[in-house]
Amino acid sequence: MLSTLHPPRSLTLLPLRRFHGPKTIVSAASTSPATTTFDAASVSPPQSQILNTRRSLLSGETTASELAKSHLSRIRLTEPQLKCFLHVSENVLKGAQEIDQRIARGEELGPLAGVLIGVKDNICTEGMPSTAASRILEHYRPPFDATAVKKIKELGGIVVGKTNMDEFGMGSTTEASAFQVTANPWDLTRVPGGSSGGSAAAVAARQCMVSLGSDTGGSVRQPASFCGVVGLKPTYGRVSRFGLMAYASSLDVIGCFGSTVADAGMLLHAISGYDKFDSTSSKQDVPEFESQFLSVDSLESKPLKGVKVGVIRETIEEGVDSGVRSATQEAASHLEALGCVVTEVSLPSFSLGLPAYYVIASSESSSNLSRYDGVRYGNQVMADELNKLYECSRGEGFGKEVKMRILMGTYALSAGYYDAYYKRAQQVRTLIRKDFKAALDQNDILISPAAPSAAYKIGEKKDDPLAMYAGDIMTVNVNLAGLPAIVLPCGLVEGGPSGLPVGLQMIGAAFDEEKLLKVGHIFEQTLKGLSFVPPLLANVA
């Protein structure tokens, strides 16, 4: 892996400024309250990298090749410490040159022209390694692009490489990758979250502009929160799953990371829509999100007047770090200041979601991972007889966490246990859907923390799976209900060299990503005094 990367030669190659306005990196206040305030009043709102790229390419201010080169060199510099990528494409520059040639010829450009995109390793990319960070698929190169990747390429986007993840999406730290541990750009001793930790960290570290992840129980949203980037989990069925290596088919969605709400939204727009290769993809119209991403100057004083926001009571009770709780409360106040009507709302079934999720996800995964048998592709251990071939290929190919979930799922689906586990979990799922429906009938959006804590230390929960699973409590219910949600940075808490980001989760009604993007964008653009560029970058620069 990473054969194309070289050790850093020079630190002067980082053109950080072009990609992000503020050079000033805020430092966490040394005193509590944990939610810190900053004196960086000069921090300007973050700008969309996709829109900036489009603007600067069209104006001739820069070229796609320059953008690609600067990102590749940033990858070279930061990757030895961060380890976000399992594979970096050899064709990035070539792709960028093609865009430049198109510009030179005056041809029309796709909306993602020149945009550098990281793709989670469980999303198939034709001819490029796609392993889901599992030994069982080591060196596997799919013969086709996932529909989402195909759409990105058609719109001019350039796939930078494949990002690290927990094996098959099973984990919340990216430590369960068979190949490497990714570090959090805010503090290299901490996890980036997971399972899409590589995609989140790569965007946070500006190694790429945006990235694709997948979210089965929070795998886009929780790492977004840990890395201080925007993570968007669309409605189930909004984006085709064709080419996404299945973990839990009824929960899996491909999601988007960006450093701004606008970037995540525009990437979502690019990959959304019905796909005849995925019978569970939806024929619902995909609205034009871009009009929501107005400049902050054009906003009135109460731009979100009348928007009803429900704070999910169960998510700000005990078990949630005080810093996270106060960041959420401050976010609620900020929304109120923007004109929202904020009330508390209760989801009585909330606590049932986590066990139901682990039963359903494990059950489906035990089935979905059966195809990795060493017979047709991937890791095969030669054996004298069939069961041995299965046993050795799977035994050596799968990691510990994957094996545990396959065993749990196999157990839950077994005759005599099905009713007690799988069927009951499905009943809980119905209950959770109903509760969300009721809450969303009363409110436009619901908010909660994205995770009970900020990023924790590498190794901290490695041997305590239950503690790690418990960290998914904020996000799994949304997957069970199939709803869209966005996580965006809302504050910093103490920790690391200069504070750790905390994300706010906004949950919307099915197929109403538009509202989430609108509220999220305005929230982001008006969140004064906070910047979410990790210090690692500032230090390197």
Determine whether 367 is an active site residue: no
Q: Which of 337, 375, 407, 420 binds another protein (CB under 8 A)?
A: 375
Distance CA 272, CA 267 (A): 9
CA 355 remoteness from chain centre: 22
Q: Name which of 67 and 412 has its Cβ closer to another protein.
A: 412
Q: Name which of 16 and 383 has its Cβ closer to another protein.
A: 383
Question: What is the x/- site pattern for another protein, positions 141-180, by CB under 8 A?
Answer: xxxx-x----------------------------------
**Least separation in angstroms between CB 394 and another protein:** 9
Quick check: 414 binds another protein (CB under 8 A)?
yes
Quick check: 413 binds another protein (CB under 8 A)?
yes
Quick check: 219 binds another protein (CB under 8 A)?
no
Q: Name which of 244 and 261 has its Cβ closer to another protein.
A: 244
**Least separation in angstroms between CB 399 and another protein:** 16
The values of phi and psi at residue 197, to 5°, are: -60, -35
**What's the CA dihedral at 264, 85, 500, 225 to 10 degrees?**
40
Q: Which of 49, 70, 130, 196 binds another protein (CB under 8 A)?
A: 130
First-to-last CA distance in the chain?
26
- Cβ neighbors of 276 (< 8 A, separation 6 or more) are none
Question: Comparing C-alpha atoms, which of 523, 530, 535, 534 is closest to residue 41?
Answer: 530
Q: Name which of 130 and 173 has its Cβ closer to another protein.
A: 130
* Residue 349 Cα distances to 254, 310, 372, 425, 473, angstroms: 26, 16, 35, 12, 12
Q: Which of 29, 181, 188, 383 binds another protein (CB under 8 A)?
A: 383
Judged by CB under 8 A, the number of residues near another protein is: 54
Quick check: 445 binds another protein (CB under 8 A)?
no
> Per CB under 8 A, which region of 101-109, 297-305, 328-336, 368-376 contacts another protein?
368-376
Distance CA 155, CA 144 (A): 17
Checking phi first, is residue 2 left (phi over 0); if not, alpha (psi -120 to 50) or beta?
left
Question: What is the x/- site pattern for another protein, positions 235-254, by CB under 8 A?
Answer: ------xxxxxx-xxx----
Quick check: 137 binds another protein (CB under 8 A)?
yes
Determine whether 120 is an active site residue: yes
Q: Name which of 125 and 477 has its Cβ closer to another protein.
A: 125
Checking phi first, is residue 506 left (phi over 0); if not, alpha (psi -120 to 50) or beta?
beta
Distance CA 309, CA 345 (A): 9
Q: Which of 96, 124, 200, 205 binds another protein (CB under 8 A)?
A: 124
Number of Cβ within 10 Å of residue 274's Cβ equals 14
**461 to 500, contacts with another protein by CB under 8 A?**
none
Question: Comparing C-alpha atoms, which of 239, 238, 221, 243 is closest to residue 230?
Answer: 221
Quick check: 363 binds another protein (CB under 8 A)?
yes
**Least separation in angstroms between CB 144 and another protein:** 6
Q: Which of 41, 382, 463, 466 binds another protein (CB under 8 A)?
A: 382
The values of phi and psi at residue 14, to 5°, are: -90, 100
**Least separation in angstroms between CB 277 and another protein:** 6
Distance CA 110, CA 153 (A): 9
Q: Which of 280, 346, 427, 442 binds another protein (CB under 8 A)?
A: 280
CA 161 remoteness from chain centre: 15
Q: Name which of 279 and 298 has its Cβ closer to another protein.
A: 279
**Least separation in angstroms between CB 398 and another protein:** 13
Question: Comparing C-alpha atoms, which of 249, 260, 244 is closest to residue 142?
Answer: 244
Number of Cβ within 10 Å of residue 143's Cβ equals 7
Structural contact between residues 32 and 326, judged by C-beta atoms closer than 8 angstroms? no
Distance CA 512, CA 484 (A): 7
Question: Comparing C-alpha atoms, which of 46, 39, 55, 86 is closest to residue 206?
Answer: 46
Strands (E), 31-149: 85-88, 116-120
Quick check: 415 binds another protein (CB under 8 A)?
yes
Q: Name which of 142 and 501 has its Cβ closer to another protein.
A: 142
- Cβ neighbors of 379 (< 8 A, separation 6 or more) are 135, 136, 137, 138, 393, 396, 397
> Per CB under 8 A, which region of 5-13, 30-38, 333-341, 360-368 contacts another protein?
360-368
**Least separation in angstroms between CB 511 and another protein:** 17
Quick check: 283 binds another protein (CB under 8 A)?
no
Residue of 48, 130, 219, 498 with catalytic role? 219
Quick check: 385 binds another protein (CB under 8 A)?
yes
**Least separation in angstroms between CB 380 and another protein:** 6
Quick check: 24 binds another protein (CB under 8 A)?
no
**Least separation in angstroms between CB 61 and another protein:** 38
Number of Cβ within 10 Å of residue 250's Cβ equals 17
Strand-by-strand arrangement of the 445-449 sheet? 85-88, 158-163, 116-120, 210-215, 253-258, 230-233, 485-493, 500-507, 445-449, 308-312, 341-345
**Least separation in angstroms between CB 347 and another protein:** 24
Q: Name which of 94 and 371 has its Cβ closer to another protein.
A: 371
Quick check: 123 binds another protein (CB under 8 A)?
yes
Residue of 48, 65, 70, 120 with catalytic role? 120
**Least separation in angstroms between CB 379 and another protein:** 10
- Name the residues annotated as catalytic: 120, 195, 219
Binding site for another protein (CB under 8 A): 123-124, 130, 132, 137, 140-144, 146, 241-246, 248-250, 276-280, 363-364, 366-367, 369-377, 380, 382-390, 410, 413-415, 418, 422
